[in-house]
Amino acid sequence: MISLSSFPQTRHSCRPPPPTMGKYIPNAFNLIVVIYVALGSTSCSYGLAILGSTVGQPSFYKSLGLAMQGEAGYSRTASLIGAFNGVGAAGACIGAIINSWSADALSRKLTIQIGAVILSIGAALCAASVNVGMFIFARFFAGVGIGMLVTCIPMCESFSYGSKLSGLGRMRLLMVFRRPG
């Protein structure tokens, strides 16, 4: 007769153990790195979106010599507002293209640092712009930094997650390029 004691004993019961955060977070350092790097996404969003609130300010029009709505020459102002947004997006595309090389050649960490410096300089130039040409250049320059950050940050995060959860960061990278509607 076979006894149950002859079978190897396992530590597992019929129910799986409850999930713990340790399963999802390899260690505290990785968590801190991911949170810190994710703050870079905030600067990217802010850099692209701040123009929406700036355009409504009369002082913005006055400082760049633009006509307000209802005044003569507003069609030029409307075209320039479109250009401000367009060159920011074009700069972001250039930054993403630069990132495709620099993330491998220089490292993701250095690419994030370079993108942050470019974005900071571009933001300072936007704030200090005294004419339309300078503002357009500053928006393009800031856009390059935004493009580098918005594509490199999810890559860096996905490699910090570990092999089991690295798809989460890659999914976030794909969502950068998804537009609703």
Residues in the chain, overall count: 181
Query: Cα separations (Å) of 72 from 75, 80, 98, 135, 158?
Result: 8, 15, 41, 22, 52
- Is 20 part of any domain? no
**How many structural domains comprise the chain?**
1
- Is 11 part of any domain? no
Q: Which tokens is 70 given?
A: 């209802």
CATH assignment of the domain containing 122 = 1.20.1250.20
For 80-95, how does the pLDDT look when each residue is reduced to its tens digit (9 = 90+)?
A: 988 988 998 899 999 9
DSSP-assigned states of every residue in 131-142: SHHHHHHHHHHH
- Is 23 part of any domain? no
- Is 43 part of any domain? yes
Return d(Cα 50, Cα 1) in angstroms, integer. Answer: 79
- Is 169 part of any domain? yes
Highest mean pLDDT among 4-13, 46-55, 135-144: 135-144
Task: State whether the Cα torsion 139-90-159-112 is positive or negative.
Answer: negative
Among the listed ranges 18-22, 61-65, 127-131, which one has the minimum average pLDDT value? 18-22
- Is 123 part of any domain? yes
- pLDDT band at residue 181 under the 50/70/90 scheme: very low
For 13-39, how does the pLDDT look when each residue is reduced to its tens digit (9 = 90+)?
A: 455 555 555 555 567 777 777 777 777
Q: Which residues contact 52 (CB under 8 A, 6 or more apart)?
A: none
Please give the residue range of the domain that contains residue 53.
28-57+85-174
- Is 71 part of any domain? no
- Is 180 part of any domain? no
pTM attached to this predicted model = 0.69
